[in-house]
Chain A
Amino acid sequence: MAKKIKRIAIANRGEVAVRIIRACEEMGIETVLLHSEADIKTRAYRMATKSICIGPAASAESYLSIKANIEGALAGAADAVHPGFGFLSENADFAEACKKAELIFIGPSAESIRILGDKVKCKELAQLAGLPLVPGYQGSNQDVAFLLKEAEKIGFPVIVKAAAGGGGRGMKLLKGMLGGKELIESAQREALSAFGSKIVFLEKYLDRAKHIEFQIFGDSSGQVVHFNDRECSVQRRHQKIIEEATSPSLTDDLRRRMGEAAIAIGTMGHYRGAGTVEFLLQDNEFYLLEVNTRLQVEHPVTEEVMGVDLVKAQILTAMGSLILDKRKIGSPKGHSIECRIYAENPFLGGIPSTGNLGLVQWPEGPGRRFEYGFETGDQVTPFYDSMIAKVIVWDETRSRAIQKMIHVLKDSVVFGVRTNIPYLIQILKHPEFVEGSMTTRFIEKHFAESLVEPPLSKSEEKLVEEFKKVNRGQGDSSGLNFSDPKSYMIGEFGRGNLVSHSQSPWQSFWRNV
């Protein structure tokens, strides 16, 4: 019973909105971007077939409002909704509201989200199936003093997590009773603001574990398969920074057993579409962490090594026309790494950096892929996540992929806001990362201090002077006002040309390098 989808409403923003629009364009499907007032100057806004403003900048009144999104999707005459990741993507009420409004929710059923997406219920289910779990407290008592007592029982360090959450939001690490009350409260506040529910749970913190996850997929026939694993051990404040496929630390036996566990939990939850089963791996033992009932930020690395298009597969599944042949899912090929580009100042402890973007360049090349939501002239606002782009590389081996990534990051240019690129390059060069033995404490262990910005070298100082001279000269002759990024942009290349790496006049320049 194939359903027709002619127009998809996108209940998201930034690079993931662009990713969805791209998949839709390929499939001949129109898009309606449901955006906030703050997201006019973004790439997705320009790319979508149609766009509808659904509310003010504050996400609670726009991206997190079920009512606003449903009304927007209906007003845009969409027949399906893609929630992306974050925001309402793991909200069962939203999935249900879509169904009620006769909109196809591109994702699992509301029931699946309720069971698997809720960290507490998911653990109960996993327990029934005999899957290994990390010790913790996941009861309904949310009294801070009580939670603190439970944490003491589990034994510090203990991690506090938002029951409805994901992506590191609302997560805090308790090292002892001291300051514990504030941290739990802070976790509850972050959980409420990010997910609309302040319920948290506790878990013992494994201090030398690796974060390994499996990409699962439930097709239209109800069959659940997996597309192998990703490793995301490089995390800061529980937020992933660098991800790769496949993990350098899994033996064939572990990969098989973890894959089977992932499929088991997905099948029990009647999973449909793209999802991720997260594990912690310590001393060759794995523990189920949680199931993310959505597309994952790091899905491109799986796409690169497995040769699949997960967003397209999601849409086909929603149409009811995707049946996967298990035997045709090959083994992973080569190695892929993703770096998340955050708008932050690495020399000031990663403090968010906002403002108007100047020149932005993501130079193309073999085995390079760029997913970005902002271009020259766009605005990075303080209202949402600071991730402005993702850089993905593929190469035949892990060490070559690391070398390629360092090169690509050095090639990339972002003016107007600071980025974590210098930080990423340092991580990629670290012996523990190169070796592949990093754990989730890697950043805390080796990059706890903010980077020190090296002073300008003699030649850099000379180049700065040279630039000032050339800039003055050119400014005079062309009559362009270089202090205004917009006039520079339009004056020299015309809007759209400069910013798109595929048409950029810079491209021939980079090819010569």
Chain B
Amino acid sequence: MEFRTKIDGQEYRVIGQVMGPQIWMHINGRTIVLERNPQRLRRGKNASETATGHILAPMPGKITKVMIETSEIVEKGQPLLVMEAMKMEYTLKADMNGKVVALNCKEGEQVSLGKLLIEIKSESDNKA
């Protein structure tokens, strides 16, 4: 849908479309994506900002290499697995020190966006 409107004396042309849970808008050369229900997913909050030990698939793609095993001790920044999407490789790294408590994928598997691939638990948590 497209319309023109005036805000504070300035005219804007707005193109917008609702797609499932999202609203897509094009305003003055900028594309904006909004969640229709902002509580469900906080916009701009990137999962990697806070270390959770939950390694999620950042995109749909194929697991091409798994470099760790269950119950292995890993260090923050250590490469865990390699994914491939759109013919480019991405290496997923540990976001904290700890022990791999779950490995939910295998080499050659096609995974969807947001799938929990690996769970790391901090060693200090276990002691406490």
Report A's interface with B, CB cutoff 8 A. Answer: 169, 182, 186, 189-190, 193-194, 237, 343, 348, 351-354, 356, 358-359, 361, 382-386, 409-411, 413-416, 418-419, 421-422, 425, 453, 456, 459-460, 462-464, 466-468, 470-471, 474, 482-483, 485, 488, 506, 509, 513
Contacts and interface: CB of A to CB of B under 8 A. Distances in A.
A483 B21 CA distance: 8
B33 A193 contact: no
B54 to A, nearest CB: 17
Given A352-B59, A414-B31, A470-B1, A193 B19 contact: no
Interface in B6-20: 7-8, 10, 12-20
Contact of B14 (A190, A237, A386, A466): A466
Nearest to B67: A182
A471 B18 contact: yes
Given A384-B87, A470-B1, 7 more contacts: A352-B86, A358-B17, A382-B59, A421-B31, A460-B30, A464-B25, A466-B5
Q: Which 7 residue pairs spanning A and B have beta carbons closest together? A: A410-B29, A415-B24, A386-B86, A467-B16, A382-B60, A382-B85, A482-B18
9 contacts: A169-B87, A186-B82, A352-B86, A354-B85, A386-B86, A425-B29, A460-B30, A468-B23, A509-B13
A371 B40 CA distance: 37
Nearest to B14: A463
B46 A464 contact: no
Contacts of B2: 506, 509
A382 B17 contact: no
A4 to B, nearest CB: 36
Nearest to A57: B110
Contact of B89 (A189, A410, A464, A506): A189
B interface SS class: strand
Contacts of A418: 31, 33
Given A453-B44, A483-B19, A415 B31 contact: yes
A464 B27 CA distance: 9
B24 A193 contact: no
Contact of A485 (B19, B34, B46, B64): B19
A256 B90 CA distance: 41
A398 to B, nearest CB: 22
A467 B27 CA distance: 11
A460 B32 contact: yes
B32 A464 contact: yes
Contacts of A422: 30-31
B32 A488 contact: no
Contact of B59 (A194, A351, A459, A467): A351
Given A358-B19, A384-B86, A385-B86, A351 B31 contact: no
Contacts of B32: 456, 460, 464
Contacts of B24: 358-359, 415-416
B76 interface: no
Nearest to A480: B1
Nearest to A190: B89
A471 B15 contact: no
Most-contacted residue by chain A among B1, B17, B29, B79 (CB, 10 A): B17
B82 to A, nearest CB: 7
Nearest to B29: A410
A451 B29 CA distance: 16
A421 B5 CA distance: 25
Nearest to B61: A382
Given A464-B32, A483-B18, A459 B10 contact: yes
Contacts of B34: 464
Nearest to B113: A354
B111 to A, nearest CB: 10
B61 to A, nearest CB: 5
Contact of A464 (B23, B82, B88): B23
B106 interface: no
A182 B64 contact: no
Interface string B66-92: 000000000000010010111111110
A169 B88 CA distance: 7
Contacts of A462: 7
A159 B31 CA distance: 37
Contacts of A237: 88
Contacts of A485: 17, 19
A182 B29 CA distance: 41
B10 to A, nearest CB: 7
B65 interface: yes
B38 to A, nearest CB: 11
A468 B22 CA distance: 12
